[in-house]
Chain A
């Protein structure tokens, strides 16, 4: 069974600084997606960034980028120039591309931005 592990329950960063959230996963599949979702106190899950496993190039979306290490099964999220609005729970998630479309989530990391 696929599992996703986030080993950092909480992280904090100064506004305008850079922070990295860690995620590891376990799967025997070769073709899959990895995602980072943001969940603010309003509870609405918002997709931040995705990575296709077959792509070697790390995904980037404005201030958000990932470090995808397929062999190590590691998928970290880097947030540059942190802003107060980045404060939220961040979840790493996995999905196989063929077959079951359900998302498998990690336990989450609570990110606090210090002004």
Chain B
């Protein structure tokens, strides 16, 4: 594909509902990242995959957040029992792996609103 795609672009959930956000990285990109961007703030790291392996999940704010990338391409970020503080834009980025593959390519994000 031409770039990183994310779906849905917008999601409204009632508090307590589960949501699933999808990311399709650029073909051939080994590394995949999820970031959370609160309104008016910079993105904050959530988790990182290299192929199907989740190498860093230190940024996940609680055990309600779960991410997977079972075949090393598409990734899903799942939030269980959503809370109002989960309202944010969720950005996905992908890149090649290695010292000199520095650029992360971002998708357009999913705006999650929890009512």
Contact = CB atoms under 8 A, between A and B. Distances in A.
Interface of A: 4, 6, 33, 35, 42-47, 50, 91, 93, 95, 97-98, 100-108
B67 interface: no
Nearest to A107: B42
Contact residues on B (Cβ < 8 Å of other chain), bracket: 20 to 34
Given A42-B108, A43-B111, A44-B108, 5 more contacts: A43-B91, A47-B103, A97-B99, A98-B99, A101-B97
Contacts, number: 60
Given A97-B99, A101-B95, A102-B56, A44 B42 contact: no
Contacts of A45: 43, 91, 93, 106
A106 B42 contact: yes
A33 B102 contact: yes
6 contacts: A45-B43, A45-B91, A47-B104, A98-B99, A105-B35, A107-B41
Interface of B: 31, 33, 35, 40-45, 48, 56, 59, 89, 91, 93, 95, 97, 99, 102-104, 106-109, 111
Given A43-B108, A44-B107, A91-B42, A101 B31 contact: yes
Nearest to A35: B102
Contact of B45 (A33, A47, A103): A103
